[in-house]
Amino acid sequence: MEKQEVIEAIHTLRRYSTETNRIEAKSALLGFPKKCYDTFSSFSNKYGGMIIFGIREENNFSTEGVYNIKDLQKQITALCTDAMEPSLRCDILPLEFENKKILAVKIDELNSAMKPCYYKPKGLKKGSYTREGDRDEPMTDYEIYAIQSYNDHIVEDKRPNRSATLEDLNTEQLNSYIQRIKNEKPNFSKNSFEKCLKLSGITDTTDSTILPTLAGTLIFGEYPQAFYPQLFVACTVIPGIDIGEVSELGERFLDNKRVEGTIEEMLEETMNFLRRNMKTRVIINSNGKRINKTEYPLKALREAVANALIHRDYSKQTENAYISVYMYADRIEILNPGALFGTNKLEKLGTATVMEARNPNIVRILEEKGAVIENRHSGIPTMKREMRKYGLPDPEFYEERGSFKVVFRNTSLEEEGGQVEQQMKHNFQQSGQVEQQMEQNFQQTGQVEQQMEQNFQQTGQVEQQMEQNSQQTGQVEQQMEHNFQQTGQVEQQIEQNFQQSGQVEQQMEQNFQQSEQVEQQNSTKKLQNTVLKYCATPKNIKEISQYLNITSRQYLSTYIINPLIKEKKLVYAIEESIHSRNQKYISNKGINLQNRKNISEYKNMILKFCSSPKSFKEICQHLKIYSRKYISSNIIKPLIKEGKLTYTNPEKIQVKNQKYITVQKD
């Protein structure tokens, strides 16, 4: 550690007015700080870092100096050697800064096998710390267990499932897998079927009983969630960019699904969910073919979901935690339980560095099956490559306390409609190259004619003959000029033909797009008409969705319900609170004023019906009118003003269980 390194660290503290995950300031003017063991522990457990004694945080990291350099070094050495487990070997540097004496201590991150470092007097559980931003936080039980299980070489995916038997595994898939391994590994084929299962990590023997392992259950189980109910994928579509935002219809989630099954089944079902809720564009590729382009590259998302399922922490500490997939308007987040395993680091992801596998049996079995894993360590490079192909930012990776998150951001896709025009331009360029070749051929013809002229000149004929030849040559040149003119006309005609061809292609493309738009409009119109008929009586959004067999509520809201409401063909049953969770919709045909009885008839019906107390809902159902606003404004309130109808609870007319009763005449 050099003096300049310490000075730069102090400047960093002052520039940002805060400590960092690798720099800590400690006041030591009045003596050795009572509590600094937590920082020594956290730096040695995560990243490493520097502690600068003699800098006061409360006054924008001003220099105040230390009480005694010699004693301070002695106290630090005693703390690191006697009070920390394992003992720490730190780099200590006393120096003078701004005319005052300070002391810097540099702590290196410990090797994984030596972690966690803890303060002996408080013990392992209470004395172990980790660094989070500018704070020293006590390690959780899970964080301590994750380190210890790594050091003790505990393989979680080989843990026996004591609640299951071999009958809970898919026999057909097991036979297919074992047969495939026997074909690929001759020595393996010498063993019995039961031993092959054990050697593959699919089963284990406990007290002479053969039990499926966690890996065997998750890959070959008939229904793994019967034994591990929380090992599933929770997929959710959020209407905005933050959890808690609601759609125009008041929905917090546009779609959500609990995905269960084996690892392979959960992967496929999660991808189906993402594909179903993703925007898709139709574009023209460089070959002029129409192709579908999804909002995000599916290959990248598949790799991320597969990584979450394969590399999540399956220990008992996280057995009740599930994988979360959130689709926001501007991004997709995939969150799985468990921080990076062992010596794996964020900065090493996607590099040539060999990464350690948390679940080696799951990885190997899926590799041998060839269904989920194709090439080991190729997942993150594939994600980055596919996102770049789409013109999107690289995926972002975050290691949080006890979890790992991947974020795919969706910037605006570049307009690709001009590719047809570019392709046509390319065709014209090729046409121009043909014309240039024709021009070169004509030039070569002229060169031959010139060579012939030279030969005639070299024959030694008389001047008269030469004159005649010259005249003839002139005629030939005139003829060639005429030919070139005709060639130019042909070239112009070719150019016109190409232009006309391009115009025809553009017109065909426009016609095709218009045809698609008309077809889509007709399809939407049919769905709207179906909704109007179905909503002759009030229906909620869930009932409409199920009736139309449309799972995307965003599509249903945007293209069907909202347009009908704007056209006043569909109305809210609860008009005073359109975002009510109990909101229903009714078509105007169901409340057509022209088909109603006159107001006086409805009033008489209500007065007879309310001879005994009736609720507003009961009145609506009796009259078969579902517009609360219409009934309230045109019938109920006028009757109350006329003194013919009254509230059962007149002191609190807005009470939820309010009812109405006819006023009896004396």
Give the domain CATH number at 648.
1.10.10
At 198-227, the pLDDT tens digits run 999 999 988 889 999 999 999 999 999 999
Shared domain check, 163 and 47: no
Q: Which of 367, 33, 3, 336 is nearest to 177 (CA)?
A: 367
Provide, for the chain, the percentages of residues in helix, strand and coil under a 3-state DSSP scheme, each rounded to the nearest 5.
50, 15, 35
- Does the residue 437 lie in any domain? no
Shared domain check, 645 and 609: yes
At 554-597, the pLDDT tens digits run 778 888 888 888 888 888 877 666 777 778 888 876 554 434 45
- Does the residue 416 lie in any domain? no
At 132-145, the pLDDT tens digits run 989 999 999 989 99
Shared domain check, 251 and 368: yes
- Does the residue 269 lie in any domain? yes
Give the domain CATH number at 306.
3.30.565.60
Other Cβ atoms less than 10 A from the Cβ of 172: the count is 9
What DSSP letter does each residue of 206-237 carry, written as one string?
ETTEEEEBHHHHHHHBS-GGGT-TT-SEEEEE
* 3-class DSSP state of 661: strand
pLDDT at 654 over 50: yes
> Residue 68 to residues 24, 84, 90, 101, 534: CA-CA distances in angstroms?
19, 23, 19, 9, 86
At 282-306, the pLDDT tens digits run 888 778 788 888 999 999 999 999 9
Shared domain check, 254 and 194: no
Q: What is the pLDDT of residue 557?
A: 81
- Does the residue 450 lie in any domain? no
pLDDT at 310 over 50: yes
Shared domain check, 317 and 240: yes
- Does the residue 147 lie in any domain? no
Shared domain check, 237 and 101: no
Shared domain check, 176 and 33: no
Distance CA 175, CA 190 (A): 15
For the chain, percent of residues with pLDDT exceeding 70? 79
Strands 49-53 and 23-26: parallel
Give the domain CATH number at 44.
3.30.950.30
Please state whether the peptide bond connecting residue 160 to the residue before it is cis, i.e. omega within 30 degrees of 0. Answer: no
pTM of the model: 0.59
Distance CA 303, CA 309 (A): 10
What is the total count of domains within the chain?
5
> Residue 422 to residues 200, 388, 416: CA-CA distances in angstroms?
55, 22, 10
- Better-scored residue on pLDDT, 109 or 357: 109
Shared domain check, 124 and 95: yes
Identify the domain boundary among 107, 139, 171. 139
**pLDDT, averaged across the chain:** 83
- Does the residue 314 lie in any domain? yes
Identify the domain boundary among 409, 430, 451. 409
Identify the domain boundary among 139, 167, 201. 139
Mean pLDDT on 112-138: 94
- Does the residue 475 lie in any domain? no
What range does the domain containing 312 cover? 233-409
Shared domain check, 613 and 535: no
Shared domain check, 279 and 190: no
- Does the residue 605 lie in any domain? yes
